[in-house]
A and B are shown apart, each in its own frame.
Chain A
Amino acid sequence: MTLREDLTAIKDQGLSDISLTNDLKKLNEIRVNLLGKKGPITSALRGIRDLPVEQRPEVGSYANEIRDALSTAIENKKQVLEDAALNEQLANEKIDVTLPADHTLQGQPHVIQQIIDQVVDLFLGMGYQILNGPEIEEDHYNFEMMNLPKDHPARDMQDTFYLSDDILMRTQTSPMQARTLETHNFEEGPLKMISPGVVYRRDTDDPTHSHQFHQIEGLVIDKNITMTDLKGTLLTMTHEIFGDKFDIRLRPSYFPFTEPSVEVDVTCFNCMGKGCDVCKHTGWIEVLGAGMVHPNVLNMAGVDPEVYGGFAFGIGPDRFAMLKYGVSDIRDFYLDDIRFLNQFSKRG
Chain B
Amino acid sequence: MKVSYNWIKQYLDLEVPADELAEKIERTAVEVDSVKFPAEGMKKVVVGEVVAMEDHPDSDHLHICQVEIGEDEPTQIVCGAPNVHVGAKVITALSGSRIGNNVKIKKSKMRGIPSNGMLCSLDEMGLDKDLVPDEWADGIYLFPEDTQVGQPVFPYLGMDDAIIDLDVTPNRGDMLSILGTVHELAAIYDLTPKISKVELIENATTPTNKQINVLADSDLASTFSARVINNVKVTSSPAWLQKILWKSGIKPINTVVDATNYIMLKYGQPINAFDMDRMNGQNMSVRYATKDEKILLENEAEIELTNDDIVIADEVPMALAGVMNGKVVSVDNDTSNIVLGAGVFDPIKVRKSAQRHGLHTESSQRFERGIDISSVNTALDEVASLIVELSDGEVAKGIIEATKLDKPENKINITVQRINHVLGTDLSQTEITSIFNRLGFKVVENESDMTVIVPLRRWDIFVAADLLEEVARIYGYDNLATTLPVGKQTIGSLSSAQRIIRSSRNILEGLGLTQAISYALTTEEKAQMFLMRPSELTRLIWPMTSDREALRMNLISGLLDDIAYNNAHKVQNVALYEQGRVFYKDTKDQVKPTEVEHIAGVISGEILTSNWDESAVAADFYQLKGIVGRYLNNLSINGEIKYVATDELKEMHPGRTAKILIHDHEVGFIGQIHPKIAKQFKIKPTYAFELNLQALIDLPKADNQYAPISKYPSIKRDIAIVVDDSVTNQQIIDIITKRGGKLLSNIELFDVYNGENVDDGKKSLAYSLTYVNHNDTLKDEDVTNAFDKIKKYLIEELNAEIR
Q: Give A contacts to B, CB under 8 Å.
A: 99-100, 102-110, 112-113, 117, 123-130, 132, 134-136, 138, 151, 153-154, 156-157, 161-164, 167, 169, 189-190, 192, 198, 200, 202, 204, 211-212, 220, 222-229, 231-233, 235-236, 249-254, 259-263, 280, 282, 292, 294-295, 309-310, 333-339, 341-342
A292 touches B565 (CB 8 A): no
B611 touches A189 (CB 8 A): no
CA distance A202 to B543 in the complex (A): 8
CA distance A263 to B770 in the complex (A): 66
A126 touches B520 (CB 8 A): no
CB distance from B583 to the nearest CB of A (A): 7
A211-B548, A236-B484 given; 13 more Cβ-contact pairs under 8 Å: A102-B611, A105-B575, A128-B492, A134-B595, A192-B492, A202-B544, A211-B521, A212-B519, A228-B481, A232-B481, A233-B484, A309-B422, A336-B516
Quick one: given A202-B544, A262-B477, are A153 and B368 in contact (CB under 8 Å)? yes
Quick one: given A225-B485, A231-B481, are A336 and B518 in contact (CB under 8 Å)? yes
B448 within 8 A of A: no
CB distance from A125 to the nearest CB of B (A): 6
B591 touches A123 (CB 8 A): no
Selected contact of B509 from candidates A99, A104, A106, CB within 8 Å: A106
CA distance A280 to B576 in the complex (A): 38
A229 touches B424 (CB 8 A): yes
A113 touches B505 (CB 8 A): yes
A154 touches B27 (CB 8 A): no
Contact with A along B466-489 (1 / 0, CB 8 A): 101100110001101111111111
Selected contact of B515 from candidates A103, A107, A261, CB within 8 Å: A107
- CB nearest to B476 among chain A residues: A250
A192 touches B29 (CB 8 A): no
B562 within 8 A of A: yes
Selected contact of A231 from candidates B466, B482, B566, CB within 8 Å: B482
A228 touches B493 (CB 8 A): no
Name the B residues within 8 Å of A202 (CB-CB).
542, 544
CA distance A162 to B549 in the complex (A): 11
Chain B contacts with A in 485-533, Cβ cutoff 8 A: 485-495, 498, 502, 505, 508-521
B366 within 8 A of A: no
The 7 A-B residue pairs with the shortest CB-CB distance in the complex, in nearest-first order: A226-B424, A228-B424, A105-B512, A260-B469, A254-B169, A250-B477, A336-B562
B223 within 8 A of A: no
A259 touches B521 (CB 8 A): no
Name the A residues within 8 Å of B698 (CB-CB).
none
B745 within 8 A of A: no
Name the A residues within 8 Å of B477 (CB-CB).
231, 249-252, 262
Q: Give B contacts to A, CB under 8 Å.
A: 23, 26-31, 34, 169-172, 347-348, 351, 355, 368-369, 421-425, 463-466, 468-469, 472-473, 477-478, 480-495, 498, 502, 505, 508-521, 538-544, 548, 551, 559, 562, 565-566, 569, 571, 573-577, 580-581, 583, 591-593, 595, 607-608, 611-614
Quick one: given A223-B487, A224-B421, A225-B485, are A292 and B468 in contact (CB under 8 Å)? yes
- CB nearest to A223 among chain B residues: B487
Name the A residues within 8 Å of B473 (CB-CB).
252, 260
- CB nearest to B545 among chain A residues: A204
Selected contact of A220 from candidates B485, B502, B539, CB within 8 Å: B485
B592 touches A163 (CB 8 A): yes
A212 touches B521 (CB 8 A): yes
**Can you show 8 pairs from A to B with CB atoms below 8 A apart?**
A124-B492, A128-B492, A130-B492, A163-B593, A202-B542, A252-B477, A259-B466, A341-B516
CB distance from A88 to the nearest CB of B (A): 24
Name the A residues within 8 Å of B515 (CB-CB).
107-110, 113, 341
CA distance A335 to B608 in the complex (A): 23
B544 touches A211 (CB 8 A): yes
Name the A residues within 8 Å of B423 (CB-CB).
226-228
- CB nearest to A157 among chain B residues: B170
Quick one: given A113-B505, A229-B424, A335-B562, are A161 and B517 in contact (CB under 8 Å)? no
- CB nearest to A131 among chain B residues: B495
CB distance from A37 to the nearest CB of B (A): 41
Selected contact of B593 from candidates A99, A136, A262, A309, CB within 8 Å: A136
Quick one: given A254-B172, A280-B34, A292-B468, are A227 and B26 in contact (CB under 8 Å)? no
Name the A residues within 8 Å of B521 (CB-CB).
161, 169, 200, 211-212
CA distance A109 to B502 in the complex (A): 10
B487 touches A224 (CB 8 A): yes
CA distance A294 to B423 in the complex (A): 13
- CB nearest to A159 among chain B residues: B544
A127 touches B472 (CB 8 A): no
Quick one: given A163-B592, A260-B473, are A294 and B465 in contact (CB under 8 Å)? yes
B520 touches A212 (CB 8 A): yes
Selected contact of A103 from candidates B169, B493, B508, B614, CB within 8 Å: B614
A99 touches B541 (CB 8 A): no
B516 touches A254 (CB 8 A): no
B591 touches A254 (CB 8 A): no
B517 touches A113 (CB 8 A): yes
CA distance A132 to B581 in the complex (A): 12
CA distance A169 to B581 in the complex (A): 13
CB distance from B205 to the nearest CB of A (A): 45
CA distance A234 to B351 in the complex (A): 36
Selected contact of B494 from candidates A124, A220, A254, A335, CB within 8 Å: A124
B608 touches A105 (CB 8 A): yes
B31 touches A338 (CB 8 A): no
CB distance from B357 to the nearest CB of A (A): 15
Name the A residues within 8 Å of B516 (CB-CB).
110, 336, 341
CA distance A190 to B490 in the complex (A): 7
Name the B residues within 8 Å of A156 (CB-CB).
351, 355
CB distance from A278 to the nearest CB of B (A): 15
- CB nearest to B460 among chain A residues: A254
CB distance from B198 to the nearest CB of A (A): 33
CA distance A309 to B614 in the complex (A): 63
CA distance A113 to B579 in the complex (A): 11
Selected contact of B580 from candidates A105, A198, A233, CB within 8 Å: A198
CA distance A43 to B286 in the complex (A): 142
B483 touches A136 (CB 8 A): no
- CB nearest to A228 among chain B residues: B424
Name the A residues within 8 Å of B425 (CB-CB).
228
CB distance from B613 to the nearest CB of A (A): 8
Name the B residues within 8 Å of A295 (CB-CB).
463-465
B517 touches A333 (CB 8 A): yes
Name the B residues within 8 Å of A154 (CB-CB).
170
B580 touches A232 (CB 8 A): no
CA distance A110 to B517 in the complex (A): 7
Name the A residues within 8 Å of B614 (CB-CB).
103
Name the B residues within 8 Å of A123 (CB-CB).
492
B514 touches A108 (CB 8 A): yes
A228 touches B483 (CB 8 A): yes
B492 touches A254 (CB 8 A): no
CA distance A127 to B493 in the complex (A): 8
Selected contact of A338 from candidates B493, B520, B574, CB within 8 Å: B574
Name the B residues within 8 Å of A228 (CB-CB).
423-425, 480-483
CB distance from A219 to the nearest CB of B (A): 11
Selected contact of B512 from candidates A107, A236, A252, A292, CB within 8 Å: A107
A338 touches B514 (CB 8 A): yes
B517 touches A226 (CB 8 A): no
CA distance A177 to B495 in the complex (A): 18
Name the B residues within 8 Å of A261 (CB-CB).
469
Name the B residues within 8 Å of A110 (CB-CB).
514-517
